[in-house]
Structures are given as C-alpha cells and as structure tokens.
Structure 1
C-alpha cells in the first residue's frame, strides 16, 4: 500500500522519475531535466482562461490609472521584480505602473532572506506603505501556495479595496478560489530535486508573468501588429529599433525616420500618427488619446 505524501503540496513531493539522479552522468542529468521541463508549457496551457482573466484585470487596472504590484518571496519574488523592471525599457511605461515586492526588500534580490517570508504582518505592512487602493491589482506569487508574507499582502490589499490575484504550482485550496479574484495554478509536478521550485515552478511562473504583462501591454496599445511601438529610446539599440520600426511601417529612409522621431519627441507612436495624418506632435497625441492609445483602432477609424 502506497503511503500518502508527508506534505500534500505538489511542490514538496518527491519525483519518482528522478529518485536516482545522484548516480547519473552529466548527460543523463541534462536529459532528465530536459524531459521534466517539457511538462511546463502543457501545465501552463491548462490555465489560459485564468491567465486571460488576469490580463483583462491588468488592462482595466492600467486604464483606471492603477498599478500592477507583484508580491513574492525567494525565487517567486525575484521573478516578479524581474518582470516589473523590464516594462519601462520595453514598453515605455511609467516605473510606477509595474512594481515588484520581495520579502526581505531589495537586498533579498541578491542575497537570500528566507525567514522574511514567514511574516504575514510584513506583507500587509508593505501594502499600507504603498497606499494600495481600489484601482490597483496585487498579484501574489508563491509556488508552494503557502507563503505567509504573500497571503498577508493579498489579504491587506483586499481590505484596502484592491483586486487580488494568486499564482501557485500546487492545487489551490478552496478558500483561495473563494477569496482571490483570480487564481492561476499550473501543476508542473514534483521538481527534479525535491522542493527546488526555482526549476519547473520558476519557469512556469516566468511564462505566466510574461503572458500577463505582455498581454496587458498589447491590450493597452503598446504594440502595433507585433511591433513594440511605445518603447523608450534610452540607448543606441532602442534608438535603432525605433528608427527601424518607422522605416518598416512607413516606408521611410533612415534619415527621414530619424528626423520624424525627433519631431515627435522620441515617441514612435506619435511619429506614426504625425506621418499618417499630417498633424503636429500635439494634435497627433490627442488623436492617440481618443483611440485609447491603440494604433490599430486609430487605423480602423481612419479607414471609415
């Protein structure tokens, strides 16, 4: 008779397929890790409806002037901070729009602060410090589903009127489904090394966060076709990309694209509207605002 697991959390259970991994060669270890990694995308695919709901909630949050705040500890917290930090250079967002909170503060990004995750009160206090309110969307990340710091933050966020989402890699308890506005649970199975959630669970977490943030940026007009048209040209690579987008979409030579970008104040989207309509920078920006920032919608309106 098979004994029940000592810990019901999927992330803490032993993987029978890797029980003898310590006796394998380097190539065999690589093969078995790769085999386990192939379980990740299918697990995420089971959660697409919930991920879509989170994208819609993030879009509504941004249109209301609110913030998406990721909260996590350890690997989960670092992945939230990573996703948030990549939004300003990629999509030209205000740094306040996406925020990452990690138990133990920013020092925990570089050096483990494992005990910090045990305090519900500390998680709630950060929500007070940030002035979380009804326009905000607080998204908790805890692979094991049980991190007190994260649940403390989400509980306080709900009390302050914010929307609350939760990402875990084990079966969610019923109370989570009842309390939180959206719960995403890709079940990637026990880790190659028991409890090492920086592996499959961490990869699944990054996939989900990428989908939420990217989906929200697309929905709020930061993408035209599949081009990043709201990036900030803060270095040579991004200036080059901005110019190439204008060259490709508007059929311009490099010098003309560079001049148009300069007249637009460095905004690719504004430059495109200026070119299409003949409007100056101010009026082009007004046209964009009326279209909710979505170039595709502006093109449809212009086409009648």
Structure 2
C-alpha cells in the first residue's frame, strides 16, 4: 500500500508553473490557460495507447465469457466510473449488471462529498466481496494520485479472487506502483489549480473510460460500422435515432423504417437483419444468438 503520509512528491500534487499567477489573470487569459493545459490530456491518452488497447481486449474477452466489468474509485474518479457504467445500458442495450461502477461511500457520494471514506482499504475489499467477483471478471481501479486505499483494497481483493485487474492513475509508476495485470498511466502533469485532479486528470480519465467501454462494446458486436445498433429505444430521442440508423443503413422511408422497428420489437439490430435477409423475427433472433449478437457475422454467415 502506498505511503499516505507523504504525497507532496506526486505529479498530481505539484504546482503548475504555467498557472503561478492564476489569481491575477483576466478571465480570458484564464480560459486560454485552461485550454492550453487541457491539450495535455490528448497527449496522455496517446502515450497510454498500448495498455488501453490491452485493457479493452482483456475486458471484451471477459465479458464474452460471461464476466463483468467493474470500475472502482473514490471522489471524482469514482463518479467517472459510475457515469461510464450508467451510460452503457442506454447506449448499447447491455445488461446493467455487465458494467458496474463502485464508489467509496455508495450512491450518496455521487452528489455529496465523501472523501474521507477513500482511506478505508477494507471497504474496497468488502465491495469486491459483496459483488462476488470471480476469475471471469475485470476490476478497474481508478485513482488520479494513485494512492487511494479504497481502490488498492479493492484491487488486492480482486487479485486474490483471480479477477483481471486494471489500474488507471495520473502519476508515473516510479511514484506509485501497482501489482495489476494492466497498468494505465495518464500523465497530464500538474493541474492548473494545484492538486485539483477533477481537472486534467479527470478529463483524461473520462477519455480513457470512453475508449475502454466503447471498445469493449464494439468487440461484443454492439456496433455496426459506427452505428449503435443495440441502442435501447426508451424515449423520443432514441426512437428518432433508431429510425435514422435504419434509414441510413437501408433504402427505407421513415414510415417503413418505423414499421420495421415495431416488427422487431424496437430492436434496431434485429430490424436490420430482418430487412437484409428476409428472415422473420424468431429466425432472426436465433441467427443473432448463434453469432453472439454480432450483426455483421450473422449476415455474413447467412450469405456464405
């Protein structure tokens, strides 16, 4: 476990020389400075491309085998994990159990600061035990400064259970080490406001999680081309999106696309398969199931 009494050396705790006079800047100068500093988040993602790709592959394989993906964090890091997990079901029609966010302090910590709870490593371990994490699962520990005991406790417990472990931090490994399967370092440098890791560190973490969850869902066949063909049609906006996807990928009018969508019980992927192959709903469902829900593979197999 990292030494919690000596954190001043951490990259995320350093003072940024570019913002030494932050309180003296004009508003426009302040905005420009933030914009310049935020550019480092893109560079940090580029430098972490290999471990990010490995994390996507490991997580996709786990979920294909019936495993789950867990994000674990405290404060901003925890909220970002919960946010990414919450957005998977409406975007990809995934089972809410498939991708889960775990935050120190529970649901209440999403809207009210509970930073003191991050110091309890045992709570992190208990959260892993409560969810009955197994060898099939992937646990992603998120901690900008790399030292959060709650996250380290969760990762240690996950390793003991045989789960695949991933570490996302914004400090170099020589400052804080982690015994994990995949180690992702997003080195964005000191924050404009010293130590406020909800800024660049938070932005880089959100970018990384965007890539991780989307990459996993692509490999799970939730995407056709660049269209979210597993979108959950649960409101007017998503109903309109579903119709536009059908129209864009077929020669159907909006009215005919709407009819097809209803025939497929509002499942865009199934509607496309029915249109392209002439199969009925039940036969289309069976074909998709045979190919683990991958639309492209199902269509290709039928035409072979």
TM-score normalized by the length of structure 2: 0.95
Does residue 281 of the first structure (1) align with residue 286 of the second (2)? no
Q: 1:19 to 1:175 in 2, by over 3 A?
A: closer
Structure 1 residue 6: Cα displacement: 7.3
Question: CA-to-partner distance for each residue in 1:202-224, whole Å, 9 max, x for gaps?
Answer: 00000000000001111111110
- Asked whether the equivalents of residues 147 and 176 of structure 2 are also in contact (C-alpha less than 8 Å), the reply is no
| Aligned position for 1:104 | 105
The root-mean-square deviation of aligned C-alpha atoms, in Å, is 1.5
| Aligned position for 2:85 | 84
- Asked whether the equivalents of residues 176 and 183 of structure 1 are also in contact (C-alpha less than 8 Å), the reply is no
Q: 1:174 to 1:40 in 2, by over 3 A?
A: closer
Q: Which runs of 5+ in 1 are unaligned?
A: none
Distance 1:181 1:128 in 2: 19
Distance 1:143 1:174 in 2: 12
Question: CA-to-partner distance for each residue in 1:76-125, whole Å, 9 max, x for gaps?
Answer: 00000000001111111111111111111110100000110000000000
TM alignment of 1:229-240, pairs within 5 A: 229-240=229-240
Point out the more displaced range, 161-170 or 281-290: 281-290
| Aligned position for 1:206 | 206
Q: 1:6 to 1:132 in 2, by over 3 A?
A: closer
Question: CA-to-partner distance for each residue in 1:184-236, whole Å, 9 max, x for gaps?
Answer: 10100000011000000000000000000001111111110110100110001
Structure 1 residue 14: Cα displacement: 0.9
Q: 1:222 to 1:204 in 2, by over 3 A?
A: same
Distance 1:215 1:124 in 2: 28
| Aligned position for 1:13 | 14
Structure 1 residue 290: Cα displacement: 2.3
Q: 1:175 to 1:133 in 2, by over 3 A?
A: farther
TM-score normalized by the length of structure 1: 0.95
